[in-house]
C-alpha cells in the first residue's frame, strides 16, 4: 500500500544550501544579514519516527464539545487503517485550550469512542510507552523542543506588542499583501534582545521561514500538494504566556509518539506547511499524510448543528446502534468497489484501504442512516433484539416486565416497523391502543363503513359473545386462520372486503402489522399481566364494549331493519 514503506517525499526548493549549523553561526557574526535567512535549507533525518515500519496512527480530539460525526469518521478511518495493517491506534487528548477544554467533554468523547467500538492501544486509561497522552501534561516537553529550536537558530524571540502586530496586518491589507509577519525581530542584535529581556517585555517564539521556495508533500488521498513559502511569514510556536501553539504541539507529539501516518480532515491541510517545517528543523522523520474530505450537509455546506443532530452522543440517545453508525460513517467517502453497503467491523478492517478514500466531500443523509440502522436492528439475534426492546418498553412505562413470551412475540411482530430503538415506544403503543371512533370518522374509512360494516360488526359480536372467537385466539395462529376462513364463508366475504373491516373493528385502525399476529398479541396482552396501567391499553373486553356503544347513525350507515341485528349491538 502506498505510504507504508516510509515517509512521503517532501521538498523545499530554495537558493543554494547552507548546512544547518551555519544558520546559528551566520546570525552570530551578522544578525542583520537577511541573505543568510533566505538561504536556509532544513534537512530531514531519522532522529525519530516509526520503528521497523510499524503503522502507528492517532486520533487527537480537543475536549471542547461533543464528538462530531466528522471526528468520529476520522477516528474510524484511523482505527481501520491501524487494524488492517497490524498497527497501533493511539488516542491523544489535545487539551491546550484551557478555557474551553473540560473533563466532562473528554469523558463524553471517550465514552462515545468506546460505544462505537474504537478501542485504542495507547492513550488515556490505557497508558503506553510514549505518554502522557494529554497535551496539558506534556508542557515541559514542548518547552524543551522550543529551546532546542531557539539554540539552533530556527526560532527567535519576538517582542512585538499586539498593537504593532495589528498595524502590520493593516499595512498588509492596504498593500493587498498576505498578512504575514514582517520579521522585525528576526535579525535583532544581542544588545537589543537583552534590553527587552531586562525590561521584562513579553515575547513569543517565532519560527524562521525561508523567504523563497516551495514546499511539496505527497498526500495519500490528494496526491501532490504544494505551498509557496513566501505566503507564510514567520509564525509563533510559543506564546508570550509560555503556552505552545497547536501546530508546534501536534508536530512534537506526532514525532515523539512515532506516528507513521496522519489521517485527518482536510481542514487541517493548511497546517501541514508549518508542521513540515518544524519536523525538518527538529530532525524528525515526516509521517505520511492523508487528508479526508469534509462531511457535508444535503445543501453541500459544511455539516453543522443547524442541520440537526451532528454528534455521536445525540445519535446514541436517539436510539441508533453503534454497528449501524460505524457502517454508515465508513461509507462517507469510502467504499470497497462493490455495491455492498453493509459491513461489520471485522469486514471493514479486512477491506479498508486509504487508496479507496474519495477526495470529494461526502453528504450526510440522515434518512439513509435511519434506514441502515433499521436493517442492522433487524439482523440482531432474536434474543438480543427482544432484550433491547423489552428493556426499552419497561423503561418507558409500557410494560412491567422486560422479558417473557409477550416481549418475544411483540418483538417478532413489530420489528419491521422499527428503525430506531426509540421507534419501539410508538409501535407498541399503537398496537395497544384502540382509536376506533376517530378512525371511523376519517375519510379513508368511509368506503369500509359503507360496505355494510354494521352487518359484519353484528356477526363479530355474536362470535365473541359465543366464545367462538376467544377459543380461536387461544389456539394461536392456526385457530385464528381457521376461524377467519369460516367467518368469511358465513358472510360471503373474502380478501380486502373481509380483512379490512375485521382489522378496523378489532384493532381500531385500518393499517398495521400482520393482522392475525396483532389480534393474538392483543388477546395475550389482556391475560398475561405484563402491560403497565400507564400504557392506555384496551383489552378485547373493553374493545367489544366500545363496539356495542358505537352510534352508527353518526356515520350514516344503513342498518338492517331486522330486530335481531339491533338487539345484538345493544346487548
Q: How far is CA 69 from the centre of its chain?
A: 3
Contact partners, residue 246, CB within 8 Å, separation at least 6: 94, 96, 271
Alpha helices by DSSP H, listed for 117-222, are 139-152, 162-174, 190-198
**Contact between 373 and 321 (Cβ < 8 Å):** yes
Where b means 16+ CB within 10 Å and e means fewer, 275-300 reads: bbbbbbbbbbbbbbbbbbbbbbbeee
Report helix, strand and coil shares of the chain as percent, to nearest 5.
Answer: 50, 10, 40
> Could you write out the DSSP letters of every residue in 429-476?
HHHH---HHHHHTSTTTHHHHHTTHHHHHHHHHHHHHTTHHHHHHHT-
Rounded-to-integer distance, Cα 437 and Cα 434, Å: 9
Which three cell numbers, joined as nine digits, stand for 289?
Answer: 499524510
The rounded distance, in Å, linking the Cα atoms of 72 and 70 is 5
CB 287 within 8 A of CB 263: no
Contact present, 401 and 530 (Cβ < 8 Å): yes
Residues 6+ apart with CB under 8 A from 295: 69, 70, 73, 302, 303, 332, 333, 361, 362, 363, 364
CA 349 to each of CA 90, 343, 354, 387, 500: distance values in angstroms, whole numbers, following the listed order: 16, 10, 12, 28, 49
Q: Which of 169, 302, 305, 489 is catalytic?
A: 305
Catalytic (active site) residue 305: yes
- Sign of the dihedral defined by the CA atoms of residues 104, 109, 113, 116, in that order: positive
Residue 401 and residue 535 in contact, taking contact as beta carbons nearer than 8 Å: no
Which residue's C-alpha cell is 411483540? 410
| C-alpha R_g of the chain | 35
For residue 53, what is its C-alpha cell?
Answer: 515500519
- Spatial distance between the Cα atoms of 350 and 232, rounded to a whole number of angstroms: 41
From residue 511, alpha-carbon distances to 346, 376, 496, 497 in Å are 40, 25, 12, 14
Tell me the β-bridge partners of 226. Answer: 216
- Answer whether 502's CB lies under 8 Å from 460's CB: yes
Given a contact cutoff of 8 angstroms between Cβ atoms, the answer to whether 540 and 523 are in contact is yes
**How would you class 366 by CB atoms within 10 Å of its CB: exposed for 0-12, middle for 13-18, buried for 19 or more?**
middle
How distant is the alpha carbon of residue 26 from its chain centre? Answer: 52
Euclidean distance between CA atoms 351 and 336, whole angstroms? 6
Q: How far is CA 66 from the centre of its chain?
A: 10
Cβ–Cβ under 8 Å, residues 440 and 449:
yes
Number of Cβ within 10 Å of residue 221's Cβ equals 19
- Active site residue ranges: 305
Amino acid at each position: 500500500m502506498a505510504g507504508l514503506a516510509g515517509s512521503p517525499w517532501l521538498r523545499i526548493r530554495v537558493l543554494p544550501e547552507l548546512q544547518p549549523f551555519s544558520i546559528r553561526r551566520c546570525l552570530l557574526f551578522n544578525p542583520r544579514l537577511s541573505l543568510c535567512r533566505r538561504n536556509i535549507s532544513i534537512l530531514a533525518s531519522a532522529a525519530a519516527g516509526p520503528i521497523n515500519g510499524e503503522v502507528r496512527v492517532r486520533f487527537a480530539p480537543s475536549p471542547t464539545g461533543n464528538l462530531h460525526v466528522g471526528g468520529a469518521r476520522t477516528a474510524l478511518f484511523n482505527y481501520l487503517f491501524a487494524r488492517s495493517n497490524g498497527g497501533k491506534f493511539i488516542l491523544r487528548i489535545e487539551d491546550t485550550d484551557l478555557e474551553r477544554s473540560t473533563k466532562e467533554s473528554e469523558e463524553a468523547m471517550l465514552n462515545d469512542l468506546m460505544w462505537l467500538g474504537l478501542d485504542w492501544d495507547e492513550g488515556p486509561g490505557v497508558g503506553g510507552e510514549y505518554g502522557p497522552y494529554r497535551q496539558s501534561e506534556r508542557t515541559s516537553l514542548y518547552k524543551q523542543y522550543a529551546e532546542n529550536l531557539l539554540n539552533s537558530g530556527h526560532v527567535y524571540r519576538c517582542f512585538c506588542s499586539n498593537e504593532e502586530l495589528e498595524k502590520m496586518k493593516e499595512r498588509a491589507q492596504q498593500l493587498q499583501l498576505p498578512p504575514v509577519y514582517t520579521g522585525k525581530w528576526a535579525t535583532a542584535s544581542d544588545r537589543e534582545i537583552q534590553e527587552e529581556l531586562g525590561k521584562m517585555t513579553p515575547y513569543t517564539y517565532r519560527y524562521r521561514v525561508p523567504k523563497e521556495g516551495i514546499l511539496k508533500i505527497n498526500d495519500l488521498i490528494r496526491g501532490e500538494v504544494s505551498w509557496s513559502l513566501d505566503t507564510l511569514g514567520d509564525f509563533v510556536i510559543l506564546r508570550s504566556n509560555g503556552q505552545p501553539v497547536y501546530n508546534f504541539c501536534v508536530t512534537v507529539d506526532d514525532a515523539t509518539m512515532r506516528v507513521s501516518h496522519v489521517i485527518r480532515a482536510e481542514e487541517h491541510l493548511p497546517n501541514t506547511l508549518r508542521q513540515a517545517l518544524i519536523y525538518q528543523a527538529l530532525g524528525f522523520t515526516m509521517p505520511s499524510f492523508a487528508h479526508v474530505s469534509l462531511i457535508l450537509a444535503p445543501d453541500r455546506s459544511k455539516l453543522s448543528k443547524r442541520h440537526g443532530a451532528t454528534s455521536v452522543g445525540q445519535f446514541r440517545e436517539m436510539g441508533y446502534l453503534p454497528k449501524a453508525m460505524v457502517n454508515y460513517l465508513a461509507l462517507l467517502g469510502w467504499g470497497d468497489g462493490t455495491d455492498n453497503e453493509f459491513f461489520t467491523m471485522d469486514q471493514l478492517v479486512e477491506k479498508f484501504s486509504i487508496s479507496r478514500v474519495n477526495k470529494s466531500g461526502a453528504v450526510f443523509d440522515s434518512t439513509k442512516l435511519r434506514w441502515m440502522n433499521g436493517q442492522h436492528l433487524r439482523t440482531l439475534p432474536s434474543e438480543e433484539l427482544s432484550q433491547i426492546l423489552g428493556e426499552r418498553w419497561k423503561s418507558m412505562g409500557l410494560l412491567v416486565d422486560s422479558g417473557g413470551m409477550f416481549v418475544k412475540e411483540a418483538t417478532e411482530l413489530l420489528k419491521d416497523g422499527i428503525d430506531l430503538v426509540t421507534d419501539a415506544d410508538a409501535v407498541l403503543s399503537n398496537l395497544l391502543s384502540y382509536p376506533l371512533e376517530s378512525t371511523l370518522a376519517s375519510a379513508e374509512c368511509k368506503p369500509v363503513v359503507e360496505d355494510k360494516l354494521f352487518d359484519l360488526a353484528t356477526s363479530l359480536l355474536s362470535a365473541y359473545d359465543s366464545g367462538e372467537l376467544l377459543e380461536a385466539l387461544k389456539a394461536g395462529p392456526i385457530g385464528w386462520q381457521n376461524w377467519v376462513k369460516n367467518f368469511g364463508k358465513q358472510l360471503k366475504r373474502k380478501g380486502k372486503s373481509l380483512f379490512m373491516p375485521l382489522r378496523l373493528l378489532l384493532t381500531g385502525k385500518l393499517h398495521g402489522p400482520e393482522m392475525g399476529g396483532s389480534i393474538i398479541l392483543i388477546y395475550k396482552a389482556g391475560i398475561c399481566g405484563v402491560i403497565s396501567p400507564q400504557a392506555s391499553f384496551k383489552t378485547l373486553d373493553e374493545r367489544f364494549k366500545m363496539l356495542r356503544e358505537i352510534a352508527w347513525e353518526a356515520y350514516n350507515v344503513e342498518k338492517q331493519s331486522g330486530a335481531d341485528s339491533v338487539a345484538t349491538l345493544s346487548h
